[in-house]
Structure 1
Amino acid sequence: MTTPPAFPPLDTGHSRPVVAFFDADETLIAMKTPFSLLRYRMKRDGDLTGAAYERVVEPLRRLAATGVTPVEVVTKFYELHAGLPWDDVVDEAREWYAQLRERGAPFIEPTVARLRRHQEAGHHTVVVSGSWPATLLPITEDLGVDLVLCTEPELDAEGRMTGAIRHAMFGPAKADAVRQALAKFGADPADCYAYGDDPGDLTMLSLVGRPAVVGGNPRMTAHAAEKGWPVVPATLTAGTRRQPV
């Protein structure tokens, strides 16, 4: 089996619109950002050892290990937040990211560098993620991303989270989001790029002419080898470390 190439140079030789699509968690930043925010909240509220966080999250880890769909795991995560005012979650997430950035956010260096190259080339940049806006927006605003398409919580009439999901951005939904963005920007998919780390990103990657895999997921690297897609390691920004769920 041949080793797929690293990121090739960007094609900047034409004036047509180009869109670069990125997954977020484990593609641009080495963490599951909603869980990082949950850890932050629980520590702020007195869980200094992380024991309470472990009690809450371990059932979700066990559920994920059974092979259920990501939506089933995320649904249980959202249930933990029933009754919380969404605006409070958003404000808290901005505090979380400000502190994370100050300490050193664990960005995945090759992917963020690639994002910068797309921006320098005048390409549209879009994040398509199963994560939620609370944690994605501070990150993508910091990175200068043009558009964020992601999982959305269901809110009641008073703006509180119901514990349900209004729109889940996984698997086929990612492909639909890519199609909508291509239409929005008037781009030919053959000219466009996509970057992801997980098999759930394959629907997105397969829609564009220049897909690439980030990290070492065996299914993804095998698929990339078969298709001749580039693969890059999920190397972190110097001095940072991945935050586990």
Structure 2
Amino acid sequence: MPTDTRSARTRSPRPATPPSLPAPSRPPGRMRPEQSPRRLVFFDVDETLIGMKSGPDFLRHHFTQVHGAAGAHRADELLGALAGLPRAEANRRFHRAFRGCPAAQAETAARQWYEERSRADGFYLPTTLAALRRHRAEGASVALVSGTFPPVLAAIAEAVGAQFTLGAALQRCGPRLTGELIGPPAIGEGKRTLVHRLLARHPDIDPADCWAYGDHPTDLPMLHSVGHAVMVAPDGTHTAVHPHTADTAGGR
């Protein structure tokens, strides 16, 4: 869920050579019954794990693929109309742009978008990608928490080996999308709720032992839900965030 429609922020120049791209992994969200994560690590996606706003970029890409130059113009009009709206409302309106789109077409388009964009320099933020790989190597299970377009989130999660994707679902009517979300957008308190729900499914895991990464003040409810929180700056620098004891001790 939320697709991040906040205005673009200036970033420092990215390395000319991107980090090696993650190899495709098994689909996220599926763990064998006997498996139990030792620790959970939560990652925001846009401008935290990757160096762009995936939702708006996918919208332009998809509309251009389907409708050509007129589609690109229409996408820019839609995105412009979202500027200045509260982020949760902007996220809901963003998804309404896909009303009537066949769900299978959206999923295929998201995979194609990922294949194209992930080859570009700076698609992944090297410091965050390295942290994700380190956590996985240490036995942690990764959850991506985002309001981006759900098929886009699924494509990124599969590539980096995330076991869980946390966000709103897309409502369908038969084979087509209605443009509405099932559940609140994964923004602000919505992210905290999703994190707490996953933690509640794993009562043996202490939230104080878990990690979370975000880039925006609206990520703080999620960051304050775990014992180890990291804010990612536009240049990829990681800064520790002091957790809220009440959240990590019993807020789930």
Interval containing the TM-score (normalised by the shorter chain): 0.7 to 0.9
Query: What is the CA-CA distance between 1:72 and the residue it aligns to?
Result: 1.1
Mapped partners of 1:148, 1:104: distance in 2: 25
What is the alpha-carbon distance in structure 1 between the residues aligned to residue 82 and residue 156 of structure 2? 28
TM-score by length of 2: 0.72
- Number of the residue aligned with 1:232: none
Match of 2:179, SS state, is: strand
Once the two structures are superposed, residues 53-101 of structure 1 have per-residue CA deviations (whole angstroms, 9 ceiling, x without a partner) of: 344334534543x3x3212111221221111111110011111112223
Alpha-carbon spacing, 1:89–1:62, altered in 2? closer, same or farther (3 Å)? closer
Alignment counterpart, residue 189 of structure 1, candidates 207, 213, 224: 207
| Structure 2 unpaired stretches of 5+ | 1-36, 244-252
Q: 2:53 aligns with which of 29, 32, 48?
A: 32
Quick check: which one's helix share is greater?
1
Query: Counterparts of 1:228 and 1:180 in 2: how far apart (Å)?
Result: 22
State the match for 1:72 in structure 2: 89
Alignment CA distance shift 1:105-1:47 (3 Å)? farther
Amino acid at match of 2:163: D
Match for residue 53 of structure 1 among 58, 66, 72: 72
For the 8 Å contact 1:22–1:28, the answer to whether it is kept is yes
Q: Deviations over 1:184-233 (max 9, x none)?
A: 2331111111000112211100011110101149xxx9xx78x558xxxx
Asked whether the equivalents of residues 17 and 188 of structure 1 are also in contact (C-alpha less than 8 Å), the reply is no
2:143–2:163 contact (8 Å) kept in structure 1:
yes
Who is 1:9 aligned against? none
Q: Is the 8 A contact 2:39 2:141 kept in 1?
A: yes
Matched, 1:149 2:170: no
Q: Which residue of 2 aligns with 1:205?
A: 223
- Supply the distance in 2 between the matched residues of 1:102 and 1:20 (Cα, whole angstroms): 25
With normalisation by structure 1, the TM-score equals 0.74
Give me the whole-angstrom Cα distance separating, in 2, the residues matched to 1:39 and 1:160.
Answer: 20
* Pair 1:133–1:54, CA change in 2 (3 A): same
Shift of 1:45: 3.3
Stretches of structure 1 that go unaligned for 5 or more consecutive residues are: 1-15, 230-245
Percent identity, aligned pairs only, is: 33
Match of 2:194 among 177, 180, 193: 177
Quick check: 206-215 or 25-34, which moved more? 25-34
SS in 2 for 1:45: helix
CA shift for structure 1 position 28 = 0.6
Residues paired across the two proteins, number: 203
Aligned-pair distance for 1:179? Answer: 1.2
Runs of at least 4 residues of structure 1 off by over 3 A? 45-48, 58-63, 102-105
